[in-house]
Amino acid sequence: MAKARSLFYCTDCGNEYLKWQGKCPACGAWNTIVEQPVVDTKKKAAVSAAAGLGAHHPRPIAEVEAVDELRFNTGMKELDRVLGGGAVKGSLVLVGGAPGIGKSTLMLQICDHLCRFCNVLYVSGEESERQIKLRARRLNIREEGLYLFSETNLEDIVSTVQTERPDILIVDSIQTIYSGDASASPGSVAQVKECTMTLMRLAKGMGVTVFVVGHINKEGSLAGPKVLEHMVDCVLHFEGEEHNSYRILRAAKNRFGATNEIGVFEMGDQGLTEVPNPSEAMLSGRPENMPGSCVTCVMEGVRPVLAEVQALLSPSGYGNSRRTSNGFDYNRAMMMLAVLEKRGGLALSNCDFYVNVIGGLTLDEPAADLALIVALASSFRDKPVPFDLAAIGEVGLTGELRSVNAVNQRLSEIRRLGFSKCLIPARSSGKLAVPAGLDLIRVSNIREAIAVLV
Ligand code: TYD
Ligand code: MG
Give all strands (DSSP E) within 222-282, no chain letters.
234-240, 246-254, 262-268, 271-274
User: Which one has a higher pLDDT value, 360 or 263?
Assistant: 263
- Using one digit for the tens of pLDDT, what is the confidence trace for 190-230? 888 889 999 999 999 999 999 999 988 766 555 555 678 88
With the most atoms of ligand 1 within 8 angstroms of its CB, the residue from 124, 267, 273 to mutate is 267
Looking at residue 39, what is its pLDDT? 53
Going by C-alpha positions, the residue among 408, 448, 412, 414 that lies closest to residue 428 is 408
Looking at residue 454, what is its pLDDT? 63
**Ligand 1 pocket residues where CB is under 6 Å:** 97, 99-105, 135, 139, 267, 269-271
Looking at residue 45, what is its pLDDT? 56
Rounded to the nearest whole angstrom, what is the distance from the C-alpha of residue 272 to the centroid of ligand 1? 9
Least confident of 49-58, 248-257, 405-414: 49-58
Is residue 155 scored above 90 in pLDDT?
A: yes
C-alpha 46/C-alpha 39 separation (Å) is: 12
For residue 2, give every residue at least 6 positions away whose Cβ sits within 8 Å of its Cβ, in sequence order, or none: none
Looking at residue 185, what is its pLDDT? 79
Average of per-residue pLDDT values in the chain: 87
Give the number of other CB atoms < 10 A from CB of residue 62: 6
Angle CA 362–367–368, to nearest 5:
50
Is residue 319 scored above 60 in pLDDT?
A: yes
Looking at residue 55, what is its pLDDT? 53
Rounded to the nearest whole angstrom, what is the distance from the C-alpha of residue 106 to the centroid of ligand 2? 9
C-alpha 149/C-alpha 206 separation (Å) is: 19
Confidence grade of residue 3 (pLDDT, cut at 50, 70, 90) = very low
C-alpha 2/C-alpha 323 separation (Å) is: 55
Task: Indicate the pTM of the whole model.
Answer: 0.78
- Using one digit for the tens of pLDDT, what is the confidence trace for 160-183? 999 999 999 999 989 899 988 777
Confidence grade of residue 67 (pLDDT, cut at 50, 70, 90) = confident
C-alpha 282/C-alpha 277 separation (Å) is: 9
Is residue 46 scored above 60 in pLDDT?
A: no
Least confident of 96-110, 140-154, 173-187, 284-298: 173-187
